[in-house]
Chain A
Amino acid sequence: MTSHLLWITPLVPFAVGLAMLLVRDRRVQTALDVGGSLAVLGLALAVARAVTDHGAVTALGVFRADALAVVFLLLVGLLAVAVSIATVGWMRREVARGEIRAERVRFYFALVHGFVATMVVTVLADNLGILWIAMEGTTITSALLVGFHGDKHGLEAAWKYIIVTTIGISFGLFGTVLFYGAAVHAQGGVFAGAMNWSSIAAIAHRLDPGIIRIGFIFVMVGYGTKAGLAPVHMWLPDAHSQAPTPVSALLSGALIKCALFGIIRFHAIARDACGPEFSHGLLLVFGLVSIVVATPFIIVQHDLKRLLGYHSVEHVGIIALGLGFGGRLGTYGALLHVVNHGVTKALVFLVAGDAIGRYGTRDMRLMKGFLGVAPIAGTLLLLGAFSLAGTPPFSIFVSELIVIRAGLAGGRFVAVAVFLAMVVVIFAGLIHHVGQLAFGTADGTVERGREPLSPLVALVLLAVVMVLFGVWIPVNPDRVLSAATEIVVG
C-alpha cells in the first residue's frame, strides 16, 4: 500500500493540472487549485508517516522515499498549499486590473500544478535519469510561468532562465552519465537498477574515483546552475523578480531546494567514492562564492523582488556551505536551513507581492509606510525580513548558528569569518531596505483596502512555521531531519 503512495503523489498534481485546462469557472478553478495543493501536502504527510514508521519506501524501481526525500517533499507540499491560498486574492487583483486575461487563467493554474508535479517527481526519484528528466521538466513548466505576463521584461527573464538552466542542467546529465558508467564498470556490466541512486550508493566505495570526480564537477555546475549558486546564478535575480509573485515564492522557496536535493544525492555517492574532502571542498567554495557575490547586490538593490532574488543566492550559498563543512552538525544545519529558508522566503515573497499590488511599483524608494497601509502584512514582512537577516528568535538564526558551529568544529575559520562578515553587512542592508518600506507615511495613491483572508491565511501559516522552528523544533521534524542527516553523512 505504502509503495502506491509514491506514484500517486506526483500523479495527483499532474491530473489536477490537466483538469485545470478544462475548467473555465473561476470558483471551480480556485477550489481545484487549493484542493489539489492540499492533496499534495496530505500525500506528503502520508509518505512521511510511512517513512518514519517503516524506513525507506520504493516503488516501480524508479521511485524512492527516504528521510532525505521527505524533508524536501514536505517543503514542496507546504509551499504549494501556502501559494495556492495566496493565489486566490492575488489572481482576483490581477484579473481585475487586466494583467491576466480571464480566459488565460486556466493555463496559469495548469502550469503551476504541472510545475509542482515535476518537483514532486524530482524529490521522489530513485533513478538518477528520472531525477534529471523531472528537473528539466521543472524548467520547461516554470519558464512559461516566468514569462506568463508576456511583457518585455518577463520574456527576457524567461529566455535567460530557460537557456541558462537548460545548458546548465545538461552538464548535470553528463555527470549522471559518468556516474552511471562508473557503476556499470564497477559491477562488470549493466545490472538491474544500474541507474538508481540506492544501488549506486550501495557500491559507491568501489566506483572509480577519477571518473566520479569529473562527474561530480559536472553535476555541481549543472544542478548548481539550477540551484542558483554563484557564479552560475545570473538567471536567478531576473527570473525570480519577473515571475508572477506566487511563482517567485515557489521558485525561491521550493525549486532551488530541489536542485540542491540533486546535488546532495550525488554528494553522498562522491563522498564514498573519492573521500569526503573533494565534494566538501567543492561545496564549500561554491557556497562561499555565492554568499560573497550576493552581498553587494543586496546592498545597492532598489527593486524589492530582485533584492529577494539575490537573497536566495546568499541562502543557497549558506546551505552549500553547511554541506561543505560536513559532519552531522553541518549537514543537519544545511537541511534545517533548506526548510527554514524555503518557508521564510515564500512568506516574504508573498507579502512583497501584496505590497507591490498595493503600491503599483517595486521600487523600494517609492514604497513607504507599509505598516500603516496593511498592519498585519506589514508586521509579517518585518518578522520575515528579520528572520532572513538571521536575527533570533527566528528559524534562520538557528540553522545559521548550527552551520557556523559546524565550521568552527571543522577548523574552517577563514570560511566562517568571511561568512560572518557578509552576514553582518547583509543584515544592515536588508534592515535598511525593509525599514524604509515598513515605516514612514504612504502617499495618497496607495490602495488601502482592508486585508483579505487571502493572502493572510497563507502568510500566517508560514509565519507560524517560521517562528516555531526558531523557538523549538518539534520532535517529528527533528527525527526526520536527523534521519536525513544520517543518509547524507553515511
Chain B
Amino acid sequence: MSVALAARLIDVLGGLLLFTMLLILAAGQVFRAIYAVAAQAVFLGIAGAVLAAATGNVDLWIIAFITIVAKAIVLPWLLIRVVRRVQISREIEPVIPVHLTLTLAAGIVVLAFHLNASLGPVRQTVTGNALPVGVTLILIGVLVMASRRKALVQMVGLFASENGIFFTAMAISQGMPLIIEIGVILDVVLGALVMGILVLRVRSSVDTDIADLESLKG
C-alpha cells in the first residue's frame, strides 16, 4: 500500500471516528453510546491494520488485533454486563442540553485543526490528519464525561478519549513500542474493571448511580 493511499484511508477512518464520537455525544440511551464506542474501536483497529500494511511494521498488526479484542469486544461486553446488573434508568439526562454540547464539540474540532495548522515540519511524522482528530476525540470525550451524570456514560466518554490517543499514537512514527501499547491497554481494561466494581458496590448499597452521588462538598 502506498503512503499516499494510507494517508487518505487514515483521513477517512479519522472522519468515521469523529462521526462515532458525535453519536456518543448525542446518544439518548446508554446502550447506543456503548455500541457507538465499540464501533469506534473497530475503526481504530482498521486504522492500525491500514498503517501496518503501509509501513510493513508487524507490531502494528498485533496492536490492531489487540485493540479490536480489548476495546471493541471485551470493554463493551463489560459495560453491557454492568448496565444489565444495575438495572437503573437507561435514559441519559445531560446536565447541559445536547445542542449546546454539539456546538461546543464543533468549536473543539475547529480549534484542534487550527492548532495543527500552526505546527511546523514535524507534521510530516504524523500520517494524515491523525493529530487534530486525536485532540478532538480527547476533548469531546472529556465533554461527554463532564456533561453526563451517568457512571456508564462517563466510562464511555473515557474510552472514546483514549481511542483518540491510540489513534494519534498509531499514526505517529509507526506507533509506540509494542510492549508499551500492551501495558497501556492492560491499564485501560484493569481500570474499567475497577470502575465496574465501584458502580456495582454502590448499586448494592444505595439505589442510585455512583456518578449521581454528591454528598462530598466544600
Residue interface bits A242-272, CB-to-B below 8 A is 1, else 0: 1000000000000000000000000000000
Give every chain B residue within 8 A of A133 (Cβ-Cβ). Answer: 180, 183-184, 186-187
Q: What's the minimum C-beta distance from A172 to chain B, rounded to whole angstroms?
A: 10
Contact mask for chain A residues 119-156; partner B; CB cutoff 8 A; 1 contact, 0 none: 00000000101101100110110011001001111011
Which of B120, B168, B172, B191 is the one whose CB lies under 8 Å from A162?
B191
Inter-chain CA distance A184–B215, complex, in Å, is: 48
The stretch of A174-182, A437-445, A451-459 that contacts the partner chain? A174-182
Contact with A along B39-52 (1 / 0, CB 8 A): 00000000000000
Closest residue of chain B to A163 (Cβ to Cβ) is: B154
Interface residues of B in 145-186 (CB under 8 A from A): 145, 151, 154-155, 157-158, 161-162, 164-165, 168-169, 172-174, 176-177, 180, 183-184, 186
Q: Smallest Cβ distance from A433 to chain B, in angstroms?
A: 14
B86 at the interface (CB under 8 A from A): no
Q: Which of the segments A36-44, A207-215, A279-287, A326-334 contacts the partner chain? A: A207-215
Let me know if A157 is at the binding interface, CB within 8 A.
yes
Collect the chain B residues with CB atoms within 8 Å of residue A177's CB: 165, 168-169, 172, 176
- Determine which of A147, A181, A300 lies in contact with B126 in the assembled complex, contact meaning CB atoms within 8 Å: A181
- CB of B102 within 8 Å of the partner chain: no
Within the complex, which residue of A157, A166, A170 is in contact with B138, where a contact is CB–CB below 8 Å? A170
B121 touches A144 (CB 8 A): no
Do A152 and B213 have beta carbons less than 8 Å apart?
yes
Flag if A129 contacts B205 (CB, 8 Å). no
Cβ of B121: which chain A residues have Cβ within 8 Å of it? 208
Number of chain A interface residues as a range: 35 or more
The yes or no answer to A171 lying at the interface (CB within 8 A) is yes
Q: Is B100 an interface residue (CB 8 A)?
A: no
Chain A residues near B122 (CB-CB < 8 A): 181-182, 185, 208, 210-211
Which residues in A have their C-beta under 8 angstroms from that of B157? Answer: 167
Interface pair B191/A173, CB less than 8 Å apart: no
Interchain CA distance A150-B202 in the complex, whole Å:
8
Question: Assuming A157-B216, A163-B158, A173-B184, is B198 touching A129 (CB within 8 A)?
Answer: no
**B118 CB-CB contact with A under 8 Å:** yes
- CB of B2 within 8 A of chain A? no
Interface residues contributed by chain B, number (CB under 8 Å): 54
> Quick one: given A166-B191, A300-B218, are A159 and B172 in contact (CB under 8 Å)?
no
Instruction: Across the interface, name the chain A residue whose C-beta is closest to B180.
Output: A129
Please tell me if the beta carbons of A143 and B187 are within 8 angstroms of each other in the complex: no
Asked if A144 and B202 sit within 8 Å, CB to CB, the answer is: no
A139 contacts B191, C-beta separation under 8 Å: yes
Contact of B184 among A132, A155, A156, A237 (CB under 8 A): A132
CB atoms of A156 and B213 under 8 A apart: yes
**Interface status of B103 (Cβ within 8 A of chain A):** no
Nearest neighbor of B214 in chain A, beta-carbon distance = A156
Residues of B within 8 A of A157 (CB): 216
Chain B residues with CB under 8 Å of A178's CB are 168, 172
Contact of B151 among A150, A159, A297 (CB under 8 A): A159
What's the least CB distance linking B108 to chain A, in Å?
14
B169 to chain A, nearest CB (A): 5
**A136-B187, A162-B191 known; A156-B216 Cβ under 8 A:** yes
Compute how far the CA of A152 lies from the CA of B191 in the bound complex, rounded to whole angstroms. Answer: 20
Which residues of chain A have C-beta atoms less than 8 A from B164's C-beta?
174
Q: Which residues of A are interface residues toward B (Cβ below 8 A)?
A: 127, 129-130, 132-133, 136-137, 139-140, 143-144, 147, 150-153, 155-160, 162-163, 166-167, 170-171, 173-174, 177-178, 180-182, 184-185, 189-190, 194-195, 208, 210-211, 214, 237-238, 241-242, 297, 300-301, 306
Q: Could you pull out 7 A-B pairs where Cβ atoms are within 8 angstroms?
A: A136-B187, A137-B187, A159-B198, A194-B177, A210-B122, A214-B115, A237-B216
